[in-house]
Structure 1
Amino acid sequence: MAIVHPTAENFDALIRDNKLVLVDFFATWCGPCKMIAPFIEEVAEEYEGKAVVAKIDVDEAQEIAAEYGISSIPTVILFKDGAPIHTEVGAHDKAFYANLIEMHL
């Protein structure tokens, strides 16, 4: 599986140590989150080695969600060189997430 599941302890290192990181903030009870999950998985596999794709359950990692002001899910944040460069709220198709990574490679 190409998706990583960071914790509060290793999240900062993950975004700092990788050039491009796409983070999907989700919850298990969220319908739109479940809808985009296969797209996020496919993007993770296709861009393995080029970008890191992570999923963070907002119920389990409330401190990370709070740090980035996550108030609606799904929210996807793209980090480049340790800094958030794009935040997208709501569900989109696979091409949207792939293009987001592609634009910043």
Structure 2
Amino acid sequence: MGTSLVSVTDAEYDAAVLESEKPVVVDFWAEWCGPCKQVTPILEELAAEHGDQITFLKLNIDENPATPASYNVISIPTIHLYRDGGLAKSIVGAKPRAALLRDIADHTGLRL
């Protein structure tokens, strides 16, 4: 069993994401975002199931505007998949669990 979805800030981003030895999934979200609320429970489940292989993080764009701006995040939810310190895939909008899991597996090396 893995871990949960952990919050990250602008100040922590580089160390937590770009310098991670594991693949990283980052959910850019906001409290007022309805579709974000649909995606969060899915990501929490995936973090619990696969957190030993992949780090799952969330970044509140209202509290941490610098990182989303630097990655041109203009719509939320946006989910970024990082591998070896680089952005491997950007997923914009809410997706069902199966589609998210497939995208994450395709770009992080997760074995399903």
Range class of TM-score, shorter chain: over 0.9
The residue that corresponds to 1:17 in the other structure is 20
Q: Matches of 1:17 and 1:47 in 2, distance apart?
A: 16
Q: Matches of 2:97 and 2:44 in 1, distance apart?
A: 9
Q: Matches of 1:25 and 1:18 in 2, distance apart?
A: 21
93-102 or 24-33, which moves further after superposition?
Answer: 93-102
Q: Matches of 1:10 and 1:81 in 2, distance apart?
A: 17
**Structure 1 counterpart SS, 2:44:** helix
What is the TM-score with the length of structure 1 in the denominator?
0.93
> RMSD value over aligned CA atoms?
1.2
Cα displacement string for residues 26-55 of structure 1 (whole angstroms, at most 9, x for unaligned residues): 110011111111111111111111000111
The residue that corresponds to 2:62 in the other structure is 59
1:48 aligns with 2:51: yes
Q: Matches of 1:19 and 1:100 in 2, distance apart?
A: 16
Structure 1 residues not aligned, in runs of 5+: none
**Structure 1 counterpart SS, 2:11:** coil
Q: Matches of 1:97 and 1:46 in 2, distance apart?
A: 14
Give the deviation of 1:18 after TM superposition: 3.0
* Aligned with 1:68 (options 67, 71, 76): 71
1:90 aligns with 2:88: no
Aligned partners of 1:27 and 1:57 also within 8 Å: yes
**Structure 2 counterpart SS, 1:10:** helix
Structure 2 residues not aligned, in runs of 5+: none
Q: Matches of 1:88 and 1:31 in 2, distance apart?
A: 16
How many pairs were matched up?
105
What is the TM-score with the length of structure 2 in the denominator?
0.88
The residue that corresponds to 1:32 in the other structure is 35
Q: Matches of 1:42 and 1:65 in 2, distance apart?
A: 24
